[in-house]
Amino acid sequence: MELIDLKVTDDIRHVARPQKPAIEMDDAGKKKLAKASKDFESLLTSMMIKSMTQTTGGLFGEESFGGDVLDTLFESEMASYMSKSRGFGVAEAIYERLTGEKFPESYIARIRPALQGKTPSVDLSNLSVGAIAPSKNALGRLDRFQPIIKSAAKAYGINESIIKSIILAESAANEKAISKASAKGLMQLMDGTAKDMGVRNVWDPVENIHGGTKYFAQMLRQYDGDLKLALAAYNAGPGNVNKYKGIPPFEETKTYVARVMGYINFLEI
């Protein structure tokens, strides 16, 4: 094979350090960029893990009971752990390219809680709504799912009483429930939400409860631990909560929030 000579006019041009950007970022902007770059690296890592395990049907195999939800949970936790350490250096490279500075260690310490996906704790000792007693039949059905609820509560940092109360309000603990809007199962997941949460079989109580709890945990983080807003977002969607800057003026949503909080009060007595 004949060798081809390439003309290179500047032998360090393509490996030179990028120039510092003309637009300077203030300290607040740098903090946001640091967090965003770490979040991006975590997402990228999660996609890599998913791609690597596709041929084996996921980390737990295709036939495992509840494996779909556990796959999603483990992939997220592994990606978060890898990213919040030094990871692959993707976040640092993004930050350095856009700011011309090294990724500060102090920013890593500040954003780690967010990367861990820690759900804000909710004080249930002083709810403003009185106790509401669910039907005995609904409570009887709910007892069958206690091990799954306990597992989901531990996985996503949500109080068991909250999960139980959402299930009671959504489906009266009927795993076969379906609404006029085609929300399905114990926690009444819409198809899009179920897919986003990694739920493949919405009728499987394990997947449904884990998927619903995971989504509610996201809402609770989004609204800084505000239980009422998180419940309103679960019912009416975060878009409506943001639009009205609070609980939307929908009777259904206002009744839903009050009912769930009433159930929580009942279960916490």
Catalytic site residues? Answer: 170
Q: Is the C-alpha dihedral spanning 211, 213, 214, 215 positive or negative? A: positive
- What is the DSSP secondary-structure string of 204-250? SHHHHHHHHHHHHHHHHHHTTT-HHHHHHHHHH-HHHHHHHTSS-S-
Residue 107: count of CB within 10 angstroms of its CB = 19
Neighbours of 88 (CB within 10 A): 13
Beta-strand ranges (E) seen in the chain are none
Residue 119 pairs in a beta bridge with: none
Residue keyed to tokens 């996609």: 47
Residues making up the chain, counted from first to last = 269
Closest Cα to residue 234, out of 244, 245, 223? Answer: 223
Residue matched to tokens 């206002």: 254
What is the rounded CA–CA span in Å between residue 205 and residue 189?
Answer: 11
Per-residue CA distances from 111 to 56, 80, 238 (Å): 33, 11, 23
DSSP code of residue 44:
H
Query: How far, CA to CA in Å, does 229 sit from each of 92, 96, 97, 238?
Result: 35, 37, 38, 9
